[in-house]
A and B are shown apart, each in its own frame.
Chain A
Amino acid sequence: MHNRWLKKLRVILSLLFFLVITLLYLDFTGRIYHDVTLSLTHLQFVPSIILFIETGTGLALGFALILLLTLLFGRIYCSTLCPMGTLQDIFIYLTRRLSPRKIIFKHKKPNNWLRYSIIAVVVLSLLTGSLILVNFTDPYSMFGKIAHNLFLPARTLLNNIVAKGHSLLKLYYLYPVKWVPVNLAAFLLSFCWFLMVLILSIKRGRLYCNTVCPVGALLGLVARVSVFRIRLDKSLCNSCGKCSAVCKAECINPKDQGLDFSRCVGCMNCLSPCPEGGVRIEPFWKKEKVKITAFDPARRKFIGETGLLVAATFATGKIFAQDTIKETKREVIPATVPIFREHPVTPPGSLDRARFNSLCTACHLCVSACPTQVLQPSWIHYGLRGFLQPRMDYITSFCNFECDLCGKVCPTGAILELPLEEKKLVQMGIAKFIKENCIVYTKNTACGACSEHCPTKAVKMVPYKDKLTIPETTDKICIGCGACEYACPTDPKSIYVEGNPVHLLAEKPKEEKIKEITDYKEEFPF
């Protein structure tokens, strides 16, 4: 009976993890960003490795825990922790429930060549110091992109329809959320990936995890030497194929009574269907009853490679540390229309652009969490290496002075969590004023929207002519939050933020206490 409970436990846990991570992406009220829920993202393999390399803290040892679990029981990560895995399980479950005919999985040979080529290429790309291929293949980051670019717009649409009804009834409990047009590249990539995962899972179960996913491939290598494994008891097995029929990984061969544990995603569906009770979890030292499976000549080679791959992964830490990226220098923009930003602005806590580009897996969790929606996926603002990594988009919104959520949610440490008071002084960029575009200059009427929104008064209105005032910027107290740029009513903007490739620390605005009026008994001045 314990077999059935194991599976139930796996289903409950995986749904729980899936739900929490999905809700992190869909919550726009900011109610679930607690340490507890956010710590679940530390159990994601790739982000956790990057966080460990970057910060070296013990808290970031989620990946070590996953490796240990894999070494003990096989690919628990794939069955329980990975949201992309659970997404496929949901597709598989729904297909089985909705399909008129019975879905039966059949044993298939592994696509080892493709599978290990992909992980080799990904690791090689890491050696060049670029995360671009990891961003495309890490299952958590890809799930994140799907959640942000597909699920979130759907959520917004649904919410806004329901909220509309609410407002008609003057209830106002639900409210519409500002609709930000999705980044087309991010949307298309997420959509294609979603479609691929959907089709693969409907047709071939967890084929994605055993072919495309580099984390699956890596953990598969580890699983080859894990302590406890699922195997068929050859003294009991009559090759009926009932276990194989429910195996999403297509890794049980009833004919030779073998089970490829490197492909097993640990779903434990195969344990209970066996009428003989012959599918068991056993430690590797327990002798198999009848005969030992034929030795896989590829196996030894791959065990050797595992070490190499792990070493290579760690070696990338050194590469991350070095700034090998050259910023493309362009001509200085003449102070006139239109504006041309030399450097995109990276989020507060990212410290510098090169560092940010080499640590962000573009999981888009910060983009989903950002209350003002100023964080948006980039297109090629960072060049190809930073494809889809978030940037501060001051046309869409601006960075809320009192907010430090992006640093809190970032699972890789690409955006570090800074104390709020420190974040308020981080200079992500500097506001540049273009007088020739300004309303005050072109129309001779009052404006000052930029200065209104400035939290440090780095943009100040100074006397101009005929009682009019015009903006003036003070670089040293500007933090580059983009409030001025967002508020500026001209097109093209009269004030914009030029990004700092390396973030600086702004000075605190001087505080001069104004003269208090203390005499409340004095007559009114009118």
Chain B
Amino acid sequence: MKRREFICKGAGAAALAGASLTIPGYSKLWGMNVPLAPYDLVAVKGGEPDVMFAKAMEALGGIGTFVKKGQTVLVKPNIGWDVVPERAGNTNPVLVKFVIQQCFQAGAKQVYVFDNTCDKWDRAYANSGIEQAVKDAGGKIAPGNTENYYQEVQIPDGKKLKNAKVHELVLQSDVFINMPVLKSHSSANLTICMKNLMGVVWDRGYWHRNDLNQCIADYCTYTKKPTLNVVDAYRVMMKNGPRGVSEADVSLMKSLIVSTDMVAADAAAAKLFGTTPEDVPYIGIADSMGIGKMQLDKLNINRIIL
């Protein structure tokens, strides 16, 4: 090969490779992670859900850091229960609506929302106020009520959970925003980011039968991880979770935690709740498996009090 030829061909190949990076979804192929944010975790306090999210995004360089033009986005709130927003059983609809609007502003092609609910799904979608929030924001609310939406995937790094059936939207979307609500939980002590992912798989009974805490951590090793985790701690169910019995269980905490690290977000949320990450078994397991970091003092945290 002549020198000139080599240069020309090499330049062409490099250009092609570069171009492929701009095509949505291709970044995965190149083993690239989402661009590192200036902070490992942002915690906001004292504002309305939408205001706090806007502040957090400001600190992280805008929603455009995570959502690119033409991408499809999956927002996965907790819509587990047929209860009203005041009961704090589900993610705050105000936050859901705002996040979807932000995604569209960043140029998202479509934003999908679903959950594999515990109560009857269509009632939970409606009563939680999330169905309306999604529609108002122009997103699409998708069902997760039957098995045929779920596809079998392998989880090679899982200890107890080696495979699972995962909702097609998780597999097909370019961006995956995990948006749990912080709640007390009768089985897992607390439900935050990692526990919220239980709502993207079909067979939850398997997790319960086979060491729940290990399975929660195991699933988080699956390659399709959330691009961003947004913990809604505006209203927090302090006891009787995850369903709650009445509004008496709820505390108005007016807080929000945002991080790309599920373990860090869960650890911070646990502290916010008034407990320690060590008291939430799956956080420790996930940390030891290298899924994320629970040592908050070693992280670069931006704390915003409004």
Contact = CB atoms under 8 A, between A and B. Distances in A.
Interface in A501-517: 509, 511-517
Given A176-B148, A511-B246, A446 B168 contact: no
A172 B143 contact: yes
Nearest to B210: A445
B186 A452 contact: yes
A400 interface: yes
Interface stretch (B20-28, B96-104, B222-230, B248-256): B248-256
B45 interface: yes
B301 interface: yes
Contact of B186 (A439, A460, A525): A460
Contacts of B306: 520
B239 to A, nearest CB: 6
Contacts of B248: 511-514
B243 interface: yes
Interface residues of B, number: 62
Identify the interface centre among B112, B119, B296: most chain A CB within 10 Å of its CB.
B119
B305 to A, nearest CB: 6
A178 B251 contact: no
Nearest to B301: A526
B209 A176 contact: no
A175 B120 contact: no
B46 A178 contact: no
Contact of B82 (A400, A515, A517, A520): A400
A372 B121 CA distance: 9
Nearest to B249: A514
Interface string A156-176: 000010001001001010011
A371 B120 contact: yes
Given A511-B248, A524-B43, A452 B118 contact: yes
A523 B272 CA distance: 10
B45 A520 contact: yes
Interface in B203-240: 204-206, 208-214, 238-240
Contacts, number: 143
Interface in A421-458: 439, 443, 445-449, 451-457
A373 to B, nearest CB: 9
A38 interface: no
A175 B145 contact: yes
A521 interface: yes
A164 B143 CA distance: 12
Contacts of B245: 455-457, 509, 511
A331 interface: no
Given A178-B145, A448-B186, A454 B243 contact: yes
**Chain A interface, DSSP helix/strand/loop, else mixed:** loop
Contacts of B205: 449, 489
A301 interface: no
Given A447-B212, A521-B305, A167 B251 contact: no
A39 interface: no
Given A371-B123, A446-B188, A524 B303 contact: yes
Contacts of B33: none
A242 B16 CA distance: 84
A460 B239 CA distance: 11
Interface in B137-154: 140-143, 145-146, 148-149
A191 to B, nearest CB: 26
A521 B208 contact: no
A467 interface: yes
Given A446-B187, A452-B187, A525-B271, A509 B246 contact: yes
A400 B119 CA distance: 7
Given A177-B146, A449-B205, 15 more contacts: A172-B141, A172-B143, A175-B145, A443-B209, A445-B212, A445-B213, A446-B211, A449-B187, A455-B245, A487-B118, A490-B209, A514-B250, A521-B305, A524-B45, A525-B272
Interface of A: 29, 160, 164, 167, 170, 172, 175-178, 371-372, 400-403, 439, 443, 445-449, 451-457, 460-461, 467, 469, 487, 489-490, 509, 511-517, 520-521, 523-526
5 contacts: A400-B119, A446-B187, A447-B208, A448-B208, A517-B252
User: What are the nearest 4 A-B pairs in CB distance?
Assistant: A448-B187, A520-B46, A489-B205, A451-B186
